[in-house]
């Protein structure tokens, strides 16, 4: 690898060779890596991999969180500690990966794909601790960036420290400055949940007490009203009114029955007084000619068959016969 050395140049007298007494040494490829970083960033940005409309939302209360990191690193321990402190109900599913050196990018991609094959993982955290640009380079690889972008499960990146940015940060659905912060973003705080429950319970209790108080005042007002203070008087008055109405109703009914009986009696007498049999019994006679009753002398025809009707029978005679 190319390196930059700092030190003191001297000459080896027996041979006349130059030599350097090294005081410090650092990699010489930082500028080249940064250039590659910018080129890949521009390429993926042009393809829309960084677009906000492609970002998936992070669930508020995840049941399972997938973690892609080195299980022997400090970042993993920090994330476990944060999850236990904030939301101990969550289940953590670890997909170990190499996060530095040869093959690290392929290992990270493989772990992301393994987690995506699970059906019940709510969010994935891709993380590692801080380091130089060379240490974090696996997360600047194009295959890792595309694996994060193509993940059907939302991905939170927590790579490096606050000042470190990788290509993975841009393609992830949410970027966290550190692995610990990534776990904080992925989990709700149980203390905040308890505080919300306490506030909700307190406010609900107040509202219930206020509502019950309003009802008590309303019913108290009703109970103090005239109708509830002297209910027996009201019932008594209503009973008297009903008795009076019933008396009037019965009285009018009796009067109507009496009137109808009187009318029936009168009509009966009229009918009886006009009974033909009783009239004949008094000595009257009915005269009938040609099926008609003769009421006037001028209606009587001497030459027509005549029937005389008495109370005890009838007599027929024909003027033309002897």
pLDDT digits (tens, 9 = 90+) for 227-273: 666 676 777 778 888 988 999 999 999 899 999 999 998 888 888 77
174-181 own/partner pairs: CB under 8 Å, 24+ apart: 174/55, 174/58, 176/127, 178/78, 178/130, 179/69, 179/75, 179/76, 179/78, 179/79, 179/125, 179/127, 179/128, 179/129, 180/75, 180/78, 180/79, 180/81, 180/82
* Backbone angle region of 13, left / alpha / beta, with phi > 0 → left and psi within -120 to 50 → alpha: alpha
Task: Determine the pLDDT at residue 13.
Answer: 84
Q: Name beta bridge partners: 209.
A: none
Mean pLDDT, the chain, as a whole number? 87
C-alpha to C-alpha distances, 71 to 51, 93, 181, 227, 295, nearest whole angstrom: 31, 12, 17, 80, 139
For the beta sheet containing 64-69, the strands, ordered from the edge strand earlier in sequence to the opposite edge, are 91-96, 64-69, 123-128, 155-159, 174-175
CA distance 143 to 277: 132
C-alpha to C-alpha distances, 137 to 40, 101, 169, 183, 237, nearest whole angstrom: 12, 8, 12, 22, 98
Q: Is 134 exposed, middle or buried (0-12, 13-18, 19+ CB in 10 A)?
A: middle
Inform me whether the pLDDT recorded for 322 exceeds 60.
Answer: no
Task: Determine the pLDDT at residue 133.
Answer: 81
Q: What is the pTM (predicted TM-score) of this model?
A: 0.57
Inform me whether the pLDDT recorded for 161 exceeds 70.
Answer: yes
CA distance 130 to 179: 9
Place 226 in a pLDDT band, splitting at 50, 70 and 90: low
Task: Determine the pLDDT at residue 28.
Answer: 65
Place 30 in a pLDDT band, splitting at 50, 70 and 90: low
């Amino acid at each position: 690898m190319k390196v930059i050395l700092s030190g003191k140049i001297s000459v080896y007298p027996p041979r006349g060779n130059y030599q350097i007494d090294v005081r410090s040494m650092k990699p010489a490829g930082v500028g080249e890596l940064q250039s590659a970083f910018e080129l890949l960033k521009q390429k993926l940005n042009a393809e829309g991999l960084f677009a906000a409309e492609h970002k998936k939302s992070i669930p508020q209360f995840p049941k399972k969180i997938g973690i892609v990191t080195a299980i022997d690193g400090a970042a993993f321990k920090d994330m476990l500690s944060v999850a236990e402190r904030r939301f101990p109900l969550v289940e953590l599913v670890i997909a170990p990966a190499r996060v530095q050196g040869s093959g690290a990018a392929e290992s990270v991609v493989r772990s992301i794909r393994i987690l995506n094959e699970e059906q019940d993982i709510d969010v994935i955290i891709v993380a590692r601790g801080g380091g130089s640009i060379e240490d974090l380079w696996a997360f600047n690889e194009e295959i890792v960036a595309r694996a994060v972008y193509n993940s059907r499960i939302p991905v939170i990146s927590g790579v490096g420290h606050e000042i470190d940015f990788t290509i993975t940060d841009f393609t992830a659905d949410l970027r966290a400055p550190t692995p610990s912060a990534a776990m904080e973003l992925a989990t709700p705080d149980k203390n905040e949940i308890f505080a919300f429950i306490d506030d909700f319970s307190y406010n609900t209790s107040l509202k219930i007490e206020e509502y019950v108080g309003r009802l008590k005042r309303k019913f108290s007002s009703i109970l103090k009203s005239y109708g509830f203070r002297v209910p027996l008087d009201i019932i008594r008055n209503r009973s008297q009114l009903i008795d009076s109405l019933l008396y009037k109703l019965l009285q009018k009914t009796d009067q109507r029955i009496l009137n109808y009986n009187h009318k029936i009696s009168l009509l009966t007498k009229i009918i009886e007084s006009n009974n033909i049999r009783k009239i004949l019994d008094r000595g009257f006679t009915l005269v009938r000619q040609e099926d008609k009753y003769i009421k006037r002398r001028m209606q009587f025809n001497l030459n027509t068959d005549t029937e005389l009707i008495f109370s005890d029978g009838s007599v027929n005679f024909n003027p033309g016969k002897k």
